């Protein structure tokens, strides 16, 4: 699991690549918390295009991001979700809770 | 409900997180003999990842224990996957299977069983506290035209 963090003008972009499973989600959660703390963004974008596999561990990461952005009174967008990860999100109904493009 | 297997492989491994990735790749390799579609392969990998992660995270929360993955091809192009641990067990299986229920804190979403049920045709769970948990999943793969 690798995460590229890009931050400008209170917009925060996290680009995930690799496997977002239990092991990867541990890393992703830590990086997410750190990046949010540093940027205090109004808008958070999670770019999932580099994800080669995702299970329900990834849902915990997205829900945590959503919860944090609600606390910051900001918005979350999850974008470029590969088909396998998209089916996991849809099976769990997360696409009804979070904006996914 | 033991049906005769056309082929089967059993793996035993310690409950280390790095084996989640190994287990789902092994399941995909085993399933390859059934000529699955890419979607079916992804479904199988995802379901195995959920079951094995549950065994590792919830079966053995503060210890390393053994996890067994048995993969069987049954008559009629049915894949059966069994994930078994001898860990802590689940006190209330019905509750554990409900969406969003988790004892794993914020690191877990509580959607593992929901994903397994969605991606496989049948999911059976047997568990006893302090004895362990067995999850048996079956999926019938679509027949494909022989080349």
The 10 Å CB-count burial string (b at 16+, else e) for B55-77 is: bbbbbbeeeeebbbbbbbbbeeb
CA of A57: which chain B residue's CA is closest?
B108
Mean pLDDT of chain B: 94
Q: C-alpha dihedral over A51, A53, A59, A63, to 10 degrees?
A: -10
Interface check B57 vs A, CB under 8 A: yes
Neighbours of B5 (CB within 10 A): 15
- B80 near B122, Cβ under 8 Å? no
Task: Please determine, for residue A85, whether its predicted confidence score (pLDDT) is greater than 60.
Answer: yes
Interface check B84 vs A, CB under 8 A: no
pLDDT of amino acid B147:
52
Locate the DSSP E strands across chain B.
5-14, 66-74, 78-85, 122-128, 132-140
Q: What is the mean pLDDT of residues B57-65?
A: 96
Q: Is B18 a catalytic residue?
A: no
The closest CB to that of A55, out of B39, B107, B115, belongs to B115
A91/B118 Cα distance (integer angstroms): 6
Q: Which pLDDT band holds residue B108 (cuts at 50, 70, 90)?
A: confident
Q: Which pLDDT band holds residue B123 (cuts at 50, 70, 90)?
A: very high
Task: Verify whether the Cβ–Cβ distance B119 to A64 is below 8 Å.
Answer: no
- Quick: pLDDT tens for A2-61: 999 999 999 999 999 999 999 999 999 999 999 999 999 999 999 999 999 999 999 999
Higher pLDDT, B144 or B102: B102
Q: Is B50 a catalytic residue?
A: yes
Task: Please determine, for residue B58, whether its predicted confidence score (pLDDT) is greater than 60.
Answer: yes
Q: Phi first, then psi: give them for residue B51, nearest 5 degrees.
A: -65, -40
Could you give the angle at the alpha carbon of B49 between the alpha carbons of B43 and B53, nearest 5°? 155
The 10 Å CB-count burial string (b at 16+, else e) for A12-25 is: bbbbbbbbbbbbbb
pTM score of the predicted model = 0.94
The complex's ipTM? 0.94
Mutate to test the interface with B, among A23, A26, A56 (most CBs of B within 10 A): A56
The closest CB to that of A91, out of B24, B110, B114, belongs to B114
The shortest C-alpha distance from B26 to chain A (Å) reads 15
Q: Is B54 a catalytic residue?
A: yes
- Quick: pLDDT tens for A24-39: 999 999 999 999 999 9
pLDDT of amino acid B146:
59
- B53 near A55, Cβ under 8 Å? yes
pLDDT of amino acid B101:
86
């Amino acid at each position: 699991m690798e995460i590229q963090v890009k931050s400008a003008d209170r917009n925060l972009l996290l680009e995930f690549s690799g496997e977002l499973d239990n092991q990867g989600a541990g890393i992703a959660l830590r990086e997410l918390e750190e990046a949010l703390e540093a940027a205090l963004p109004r808008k958070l974008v999670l770019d999932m295009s580099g994800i080669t596999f995702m299970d329900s561990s990834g849902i915990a990461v997205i829900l945590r991001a959503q919860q944090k952005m609600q606390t910051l009174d900001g918005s979350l967008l999850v974008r470029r979700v590969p088909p396998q990860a998209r089916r996991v999100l849809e099976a769990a109904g997360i696409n009804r809770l979070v904006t996914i493009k | 409900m033991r049906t005769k297997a056309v082929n089967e492989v059993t793996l035993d491994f310690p409950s280390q997180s790095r084996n989640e990735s190994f287990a789902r790749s092994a399941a995909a390799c085993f399933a390859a003999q059934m000529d699955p579609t890419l979607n079916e392969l992804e479904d199988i990998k995802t379901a195995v990842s959920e079951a094995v992660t549950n065994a590792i995270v919830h079966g053995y929360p503060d210890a390393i224990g053994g996890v067994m993955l048995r993969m069987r091809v049954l008559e009629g192009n049915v894949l059966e996957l069994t994930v078994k641990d001898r860990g802590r067990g689940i006190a209330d299986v019905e509750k554990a299977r409900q969406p969003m229920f988790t004892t794993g804190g914020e690191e877990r979403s509580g959607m593992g069983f929901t994903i397994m049920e969605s991606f496989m045709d049948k999911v059976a769970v047997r568990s006893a506290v302090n004895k362990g948990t067995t999850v048996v999943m079956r999926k019938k793969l679509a027949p494909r035209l022989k080349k």
